[in-house]
Amino acid sequence: MSKADLTEAEAANELMRLARQIARHDALYHAKDAPEISDQQYDALVRRNAELEAAFPHLIREDSPSRKVGHEVAASPLSKVTHAVRMLSLDNAFTDEELSDFAGRVRRFLSLAGDETVACTAEDKIDGLSCSLRYEGGKLVRAATRGDGQVGEDVTPNVAHVEGIPQQLQTGGEGAPVPDVFEIRGEVFMEKAAFSSLNQRLMEEARAEAEAKGAEFDAAKVRQFANPRNAAAGSLRQKDASVTASRSLRFLAHGWGAASDVPHETQFGMMQQILDWGVPVSPALVRCMDLEQMLDHYRQIAELRADLAYDIDGVVYKVDRLDWQKRLGFVAKAPRWAIARKFPAERAETTLESIDIQVGRTGKLTPVGRLAPVLVGGVTVTNVTLHNRDEIARLGVRPGDSVVVQRAGDVIPQVVENLTGADERPAFPFPDHCPDCGSEAIAEEGEVDVRCTGGLICPAQRTERLQHFVSRSALDIEGFGEKTIADFFARGWLESPADIFRLKHHREEILALDGWQDKSVDKLLAAVETKRQPDAARMLFGLGIRHVGAVTARDLMKGLADIARLPGKAAQIQSYRAESPRGEDESQGKYTARTVEAIKAILEVRTDGIGIAVGFALADFFHETHNSDVWDDLLSEVSPPPFVVETMASAVAGKTVVFTGKLETMSRDEAKAQAERLGAKAAGSVSAKTDLVVAGPEAGSKLKKATELGIEVIDEAAWAEIVSKAG
């Protein structure tokens, strides 16, 4: 549910739930090093909280996650340390546009001229544990974790065993002397290779312990670390520093806290100074002079990410000038002068909370999965397409399952794996009736999509069907735009095709609407009246019956002549279908060629384009009582004359024409109808019997085959000339 759909009460309740959820996950992550959800799922919760607070600022809670950093240190065997300068977190950007917005905010806040350079440092964002090192007189006197930003845990004995943390800063040389007090802040992390070795060692130690006790070894019960970040946090936050010493940890500096002196004027200069004092910084640290360089560096780091020895989850940017940093200051828990551009996760794990069935404008029933929010590809994903009934069966998904979601580029998010697997719960029951109108929902022979047969009575399809009914290819009634139909439908004046011919009773009401005057209303109603005796094929096409396109509608009417005969013919097909034998392969549900010929005989047509699909679609349409009611209601308002095919003498009379490629001035159905009026037969494929091929742009295999067979090929302009000369 978007924030626009929420009432204040619903927003307040969701903010309360988010505050509790995020606080719980903060405790699991920071205090216990045992997260239950992925970073992407956590980021999605935080982002949702921020969206709601932006929409309802008066509902921001005292315990809002936006006001907190990390997690309060409690029930820890380690001593507490109060930071002299708070250790803050960073705001996140997930797209190039959000990074650009950050640069724009800095410029606006500082009132900078458009041509003024805003340099920023850029460095990889290491996925580890934040740590602050306090040096007095160049000597390390205390090391502390971030904790809640204000109070952390004392890990001074432990950092003595971390590579990259000197007990004494280097002095001398050309660099600035070490200030009396200087706190270096950075990240303690474990490299990927060390992480693998640690887990392997834990497994071997557990096996050896079981053998020593004569017990059966159960690998599933061995507690191993889920990822290098957890391993680093668990290894550093040990009461016994010898445990830390037994594990391989490293440190890279990314900034500083309390300082009696800051000897440089830029972020980059200070980071180089920290390096000179003997504390390593990221080898990827650079200074970017504009947004383009910032984006380029991000892409370079993203390409190198997989080959790095340690895990990173983004790039951190900081305004380079320290005087500008001071002016920019801070918001509740993050500096205005820094931002983390996170890497998008193309895949993420989450929970499928429910499955809803949506009915599209063509009647297709599409299952949509509702997810626990998760960040995928830089976007918070809450919904995912499940495509169709067969895809649900293939994945075996049900509400409550843990799933892997994928989103690459602009592709609609989709479920790629069900992590829960089979259990005793029943499979998801895909509906056999439309959830919007209650009509039968069926999948046609050989198709996977299930569609509502409600047609013009289905709320999900009605306005689209009405738009189609008055369109140029159908009844061609001028004056009905999409907005007009939607407006009239909302007011209850236009619910079925027959209502179009009853709009004259609403003349005064239409006239009272904005944008309508006597002339425009009378013009619309006059256009309606001219269609009281519509072309039968156009009217049939306008009803939007599946598989009945403009050409098929004409083929049907050529056989039947009187459109009033159609419901009876559909009933005959329905009876035949109930009694007709299937093909030899019963499991595949195939009908024999005899069924095709029987349908053609019932419909009194000989056209190859009409067969089982068209016949059964007609049967399904008229089988629904409400569709028959719509049909009868329409015929009470209009009187289509008997259908007569009028052909003109032309250069293609008696010939077989195939249209291929993209037609730019007309639809494929319109082109086929033109060919018919010219006395030609419009075929769907090229063969030795084809006389002419009309090829538009992007023509493919049909054009190739026509060339191989030596068939005449013309373009759309040449076809238009043939049409214009016919008479």
Phi, psi of 198 (to 5 degrees): -65, -45
CA angle 358, 364, 368 (to 5 degrees): 30
Distant-in-sequence, close-in-space partners of 542: CB < 8 Å, separation ≥ 6: 468, 469, 470, 471, 474, 475, 497
Task: Note whether 333 and 353 are same-domain residues.
Answer: no
Among residues 137, 168, 164, the alpha carbon closest in space to that of 261 is found at: 137
Tokens of 606: 């000989």
Q: Which residue has the tokens 């005989």?
A: 601
Minimal CA–CA distance to 295: which of 265, 253, 339?
339
* The pair of three-digit structure tokens given for residue 536, joined into one six-digit string: 């039968």
What is the pLDDT at residue 220? Answer: 67
Q: What is the CATH number of the domain that holds 195?
A: 3.30.470.30
Residue linked to tokens 């009905």? 480
Give the pTM.
0.47
Tell me, yes or no, whether 468 lies in a domain: yes
CB 165 within 8 A of CB 140: yes
Average pLDDT, the chain: 86
Question: Are residues 680 and 629 both part of a single domain?
Answer: no
Whole-angstrom Cα distance, residue 333 to residue 679?
Answer: 77
60-64, 481-485, 542-546, 631-635 — which one is most confidently predicted on average? 631-635
Q: What is the pLDDT of residue 210?
A: 82
| Rounded Cα distance, 313 and 298, in Å | 11
97 CB-near residues (< 8 Å, 6+ apart): none
Same domain, 363 and 338: no
Residue 339: predicted pLDDT: 96
Q: Within this chain, do residues 391 and 531 fall inside the same structural domain, yes or no?
A: no
- Cα(296)–Cα(394) distance, integer angstroms: 41
- 235 and 365 belong to one structural domain: no
Q: Using the 3D structure, point to which of 602, 635, 668 is the last residue of a domain.
A: 635
Q: What does each C-alpha distance from 177 to 6, 85, 169, 181, 276 come to in angstroms?
A: 58, 22, 10, 11, 10
- Confidence tier at 527 by pLDDT (50, 70, 90): very high
Which residues span the domain enclosing 717? 656-725
* CA-based nearest residue to 634, from 495, 481, 482, 463: 495
Asked if 195 and 54 sit in the same domain, the reply is: no
pLDDT tens track for 437-495: 888 888 876 677 898 887 777 877 888 888 889 988 889 998 898 889 888 988 999 98
In a domain, 399, yes or no: yes
CATH code of the domain in which 37 resides? 1.10.287.610
Q: What 8-state DSSP symbol labels residue 281? A: B
pLDDT at 130 (0 to 100): 93
125 has catalytic annotation: yes
Kindly report, residue by residue over 115-154, the tens digit of the pLDDT.
Answer: 899 999 999 999 899 999 999 999 999 999 998 888 899 9
Residue 248 lies in a domain: yes
Structure-token pair, residue 700:
């493919």
Task: Please give the average per-residue pLDDT across 169-185, as a whole number.
Answer: 87
Instruction: Provide the number of structural domains found in the chain.
Output: 5
425 DSSP assignment: S
* In a domain? residue 424: no
Residue 8 in any domain: the answer is yes
Residues with Cβ within 8 Å of residue 332, at least 6 apart in sequence: 66, 67
Of residues 325 and 214, which shows the higher confidence score? 325
Strands 681-683 and 656-660: parallel
Give yes or no: residues 370 and 263 share one domain.
no
pLDDT of residue 136: 95
- If you count DSSP H runs as helices and E runs as strands, how many of each does the chain have, helices first? 25, 22
Tell me: do 216 and 301 sit in the same domain.
yes
Kindly state the helix (H) or strand (E) to which residue 283 belongs, with its residue range.
none
User: Rounded CA gap, 52 and 14, in Å?
Assistant: 9
Arithmetic mean of pLDDT, 7-20: 81
Concatenate the DSSP letters of all residues of 26-45 into one string: HIIIIISS--SS-HHHHHHH
pLDDT at position 355: 94
Residues 503 and 625 in one domain: yes
Q: Is residue 394 part of a domain?
A: yes
Query: Considering 125, 318, 342, 681, which one is annotated as catalytic?
Result: 125
Confidence of residue 76 (pLDDT cuts 50, 70, 90): low
585 pLDDT more than 70: no
Q: Are residues 136 and 267 in the same domain?
A: yes
Check whether 372 has a pLDDT greater than 80: yes
* Average pLDDT rounded to a whole number, residues 83-93: 90
Q: Residue 379 has what pLDDT?
A: 65
Looking up residue 369, the CATH number of its domain turns out to be: 2.40.50.140
**Cβ burial, residue 108 (10 Å; 0-12/13-18/19+):** exposed
* pLDDT reported for residue 74: 47
- Is residue 30 predicted with pLDDT exceeding 70? no
Structure tokens belonging to residue 492 = 């209850």
Please, which pLDDT band fits residue 584 given cuts at 50, 70 and 90? very low
Q: Which of 576, 600, 635 is the last residue of a domain?
A: 635
- Break the chain down into helix, strand, coil percent, rounded to 5: 40, 20, 40
Quick: pLDDT tens for 318-364: 999 999 999 999 886 789 999 999 887 667 889 999 999 988 767 88
SS3 sequence, 466-477?
Answer: HHHHCCCCCCCC
pLDDT at position 216 over 60? yes
* Residues pairing with 561 in the sheet: none
Confirm whether 75 is domain-assigned. no
240 and 202 in a common domain: yes
Is 564 found in the same domain as 603? yes
Residue-wise pLDDT tens digits, 666-683: 777 778 878 878 888 888
**Boundary of a domain, candidates 342, 369, 399:** 342
The answer on pLDDT for 85 being more than 60 is yes
Q: Can you give the pLDDT at residue 587?
A: 39
- Whether residue 621 is contained in a domain is answered as yes
Looking at residue 377, what DSSP letter applies? T
Task: For residue 628, give Cα distances in angstroms to 493, 495, 564, 566, 616.
Answer: 20, 15, 12, 11, 15
CA dihedral of residues 212, 216, 219, 221 (deg, nearest 10): -90
What is the β-pairing status of strands 120-126 and 312-319? antiparallel
Nearest to 520 by CA among 482, 490, 484: 484
Q: So what's the pLDDT on residue 409?
A: 45
CATH number at residue 464: 1.10.150.20
